[in-house]
Amino acid sequence: MTTKRPPTALEKMGLNSPMALALHLPSRYEDETELFTIEEALGLGRFHSIQTQGVVIRNQVMFRPRRQLLVTIEDDTASLQLRFLNFYPSQQKQMAVGAHVRVRGEVREGYQGPEMVHPTVRAVTPDSPLPASLTPVYPASAGISQTIIRKAVLQALRDASLKESLAEFLPTKLMAEILPTNDWPPLQDAITYLHQPPADANTQSLLERTHPAWRRVQFEELLAQQISLKRAHAIRRERRAPSFEKAIQKATSIEDSLLKVLPFKLTGAQARVWSEIGLDLSNTFPMNRLLQGDVGSGKTVIAALAAARAMDHGYQAAIMAPTEILAEQHYLKMQEWFEPLGVKIAWLSGSLKAKEKRLAQEMIESGEAQLIIGTHALIQDKVSFAKLGLAVIDEQHRFGVRQRLEIQQRVGSELFYCHQLMMSATPIPRTLAMTYYADLDVSVIDELPPGRKPIATKVVKAARRDEVISGLHDWLAKGLQAYWVCPLIEESEVLQLQTAVESFEQLTQALPNFKVGLVHGRLKSEEKAAVMAAFKANEIQLLVATTVIEVGVDVPNAALMVIEHAERFGYAQIHQLRGRVGRGSADSVCILMYAEPLSLAAKERLQTLRETSDGFVIAERDLSLRGPGELLGAKQSGDAMLRFVDLRRDAWLIELAQTAAERLLAEHGDLVERHLERWLGSRTEFLKA
């Protein structure tokens, strides 16, 4: 029996072929093409890295104030001290007295004069030649040196198979018609250039990734992604799904009955969106639509109408939400609307007792449950749907890309897929929609229901906390309610809870005439539900909470929100939290209380949130800050996203790649597989999720 060889450090990084190494492009470069005397280095190197060399004249390990290695080198012009706070015996040996070394680093003033701290060091001879190109610095895992990666990349670039892997096969005529200029190098030249840029290369454009060599690589990567998404779109249209035409029998129609019992009329935007979704549901291929709408714009009623349409045709509908508190809000709302119409609803969440869970699963499997509402327990537990026709996924970016429902079932001999409706109150920036949601049709509710008032946002220093509490007292005295949201401390749920408890105790003492409630993630779901019900019934006037109330709470009388340590929250979270107020007739206020000193990023974030409540503006800022992974809910999936493209900087490339993808699919189908294999390999499946 042959034992399997353990993977090398490079293989663990996915660098297991010449192609993988060729596409492992540098994150930055060091200029080792210039060499200065030590005297020149002392004058030039105080704010940027500089390279010099000399003979080691002193090498000693000191133990005060801490263990460190001090090495002194000199040349004909001066001497320079090198300081190493962390070092290996091999480094100490490399810099033995008498050794000739070349060092690169930033010169700064130390306790004993000018020094370099942790410079890069190479043993050389006095006349060792300088490199002809900039030195690449690669993304690396712990324990893998730059030397190992550089050697492996150079070897890969010389590999004969790489010439074929990077061969030009995109039609020259097509490229010339689509690309605005033709100064991009061939792909192999571009990749070689990025690994070994010459000494006179434009370093700025390389670092900013705007150099023509980078543009060629970015375009090819985007092209592969767009082809993959467009193919997924075409494949979906070939799948079968039940067609839900508008029910003709109005007397027994759940949809028409629901419209009659709703205590409001659909807004113009809601009616337009419902028309788009209704058309999708009538198709014989599965709907794959994203419904966007700001907090409070009325997405839930659209989900209810879609569910009613599916149930009118004898199919089940499922609504899945990322948190139990949001799923429960949907459950209560759907009960209120559907139970008077005789619709059987099942509730499924991870916190249900075994017997309750089994009962819900039986109702779902037998088809007795027409509408199923729950958390990700709907796809994690042993749930077997009798006849699922529609899946609604709320706050879809909170689920990993792999967690979206892809439910298929046999009806007779035919395979059917259910229709999918994704909903999000976090608007997707246009560039993100074009790149990652190209397979989704998008509907936007861009109008708030009548009576929804704009929310005034104020930014206040934490030092004025007593003033805020005094104002809160006056607010509650008017008969209105309020939220007090405690800081998000990601490092420690225990600390977050402690902060919430402390604020709860302080506010209970400061406001003795009012009932203060506390809700947080550690409460059991029934305790949480009891507190929320008491708040909704105005038995609790002030609700102290952690971010569990971020989504799904609807209390029209609560028109004030105080967010403590607002500088610790992201754009989307504050926007979501702020949307909990402004749901009634009273003027609504959101107070963002912050502690000093503020970082520049936090200052800009609070300023933006004070100035705008436009979810799309906020989403664009969020994208620039966090990148696409978190907004997509893909970060936790572990799959690599676009590696070389920045959606803000390279937005203009996306449309070019879309056009090229359409042309390639229509005119050069034989080249499509080659291009996908080159750029995505096994990741093509991920893009279809």
Name the pLDDT band for 381 (thresholds 50, 70, 90): low
Mean pLDDT for 549-567 is 76
What does the pLDDT read at residue 490? 42
Name the pLDDT band for 214 (thresholds 50, 70, 90): very high
E strands present in 268-314: 288-293
Q: Are residues 269 and 412 in the same domain?
A: yes
What does the pLDDT read at residue 178? 84
Number of domains in the chain: 3
Domain boundary among 130, 151, 170: 130
What does the pLDDT read at residue 154? 92
Angle (nearest 5°) at CA 351 between 347 and 355: 70
Close Cβ partners of 285 (under 8 Å, ≥ 6 residues apart): 236, 237, 238, 239, 240, 241
82 pLDDT higher than 90? yes
Please report where in the chains the tokens 């952690």 appear, as a residue.
Answer: 546
Q: Which of 559, 408, 420, 428 is nearest to 483 (CA)?
A: 559
CATH number at residue 268: 3.40.50.300
91 pLDDT higher than 80? yes
Contact yes or no for 116/82 (Cβ under 8 A): yes
Mean residue pLDDT of the chain comes to 82
Contact yes or no for 30/49 (Cβ under 8 A): yes
Q: Which of 570, 590, 587, 591 is nearest to 579 (CA)?
A: 590
Mean pLDDT for 536-558 is 76
What does the pLDDT read at residue 100? 96
Close Cβ partners of 551 (under 8 Å, ≥ 6 residues apart): 321, 323, 325, 326, 395, 425, 576
What does the pLDDT read at residue 631? 43
633 pLDDT higher than 50? no
576 pLDDT higher than 50? yes
What does the pLDDT read at residue 434? 64
Q: Are residues 459 and 517 in the same domain?
A: yes
What does the pLDDT read at residue 49? 84
267 pLDDT higher than 80? yes
Close Cβ partners of 542 (under 8 Å, ≥ 6 residues apart): 472, 476, 481, 482, 483, 484, 507, 511, 514, 515, 516, 517
Q: One-letter amino acid identity for 47?
A: F
390: in domain: yes
Q: Which of 542, 553, 536 is nearest to 481 (CA)?
A: 542
What does the pLDDT read at residue 689? 40
Among the listed ranges 97-101, 352-356, 379-383, which one has the minimum average pLDDT value? 379-383
Q: Render pLDDT for 498-530 as a digit per residue (tens, 0 to 9).
A: 577 888 888 999 999 999 998 877 777 778 778
Q: Are residues 276 and 424 in the same domain?
A: yes
What does the pLDDT read at residue 158? 92
Q: Render pLDDT for 154-187 as a digit per residue (tens, 0 to 9).
A: 999 999 888 888 888 888 888 888 887 768 899 9
Q: Are residues 587 and 608 in the same domain?
A: yes
**630 to 138, 426, 466, 526: CA distances (angstroms):** 24, 12, 36, 31
688 pLDDT higher than 60? no
Angle (nearest 5°) at CA 151 between 146 and 153: 95
5: in domain: no
What does the pLDDT read at residue 579? 75
Mean pLDDT for 120-126 is 90
What does the pLDDT read at residue 619? 67
Q: Are residues 415 and 436 in the same domain?
A: yes
Angle (nearest 5°) at CA 567 between 561 and 568: 95
631: in domain: no
Close Cβ partners of 305 (under 8 Å, ≥ 6 residues apart): 255, 258, 259, 274, 277
Helix (H) or strand (E) holding 187: helix 187-195
Q: Are residues 407 and 295 in the same domain?
A: yes
Name the pLDDT band for 208 (thresholds 50, 70, 90): confident
In whole angstroms, give the CA distance from residue 335 to residue 390: 18
For residue 597, say if its preceding peptide bond is cis, omega within 30 degrees of 0.
yes
65: in domain: yes
Q: Which residues pair with 292 in a beta bridge?
A: 424, 444
Q: Are residues 482 and 363 in the same domain?
A: no
Q: Are residues 302 and 413 in the same domain?
A: yes
Q: Are residues 299 and 434 in the same domain?
A: yes
Q: Which of 29, 36, 291, 263 is nearest to 137 (CA)?
A: 29
283 pLDDT higher than 90? yes
676: in domain: no
230: in domain: no
577: in domain: yes
Mean pLDDT for 46-55 is 86
636 pLDDT higher than 50? no
Name the pLDDT band for 134 (thresholds 50, 70, 90): confident
Q: Are residues 486 and 340 in the same domain?
A: no
In whole angstroms, give the CA distance from residue 463 to residue 165: 62
Q: Which of 478, 460, 477, 480 is nearest to 468 (CA)?
A: 460
Q: Are residues 519 and 412 in the same domain?
A: no
Q: Which residues pair with 401 in a beta bridge?
A: none
Q: Which of 373, 367, 379, 366 is nearest to 307 (CA)?
A: 373
Estimate the crossing angle of helix 212-238 against helix 651-667, to 10 degrees: 50
Q: Are residues 498 and 541 in the same domain?
A: yes
* Start-to-end C-alpha separation, the chain: 39
16: in domain: no
Phi, psi of 586 (to 5 degrees): -75, 150
CATH number at residue 105: 2.40.50.140
Quick one: what percent of the chain has pLDDT higher than 90? Answer: 26
Domain boundary among 130, 154, 177: 130
What is the CB neighbour count within 10 angstroms for residue 73?
A: 27
Query: Would you call 507 helix, strand, or coil by DSSP?
Result: helix
Structural domain for 93, as ranges: 34-130
Q: Which of 73, 80, 47 is nearest to 59 (CA)?
A: 73
Q: Render pLDDT for 425-484 as a digit per residue (tens, 0 to 9).
A: 766 666 666 666 666 788 888 777 676 677 888 888 888 989 999 999 998 999 999 999
Helix (H) or strand (E) holding 502: helix 493-510
Q: 41-45, 250-254, 533-537: which has the highest mean pLDDT?
A: 533-537
Name the pLDDT band for 217 (thresholds 50, 70, 90): very high
> When comparing pLDDT for 240 and 651, which is higher?
240
Mean pLDDT for 71-100 is 92
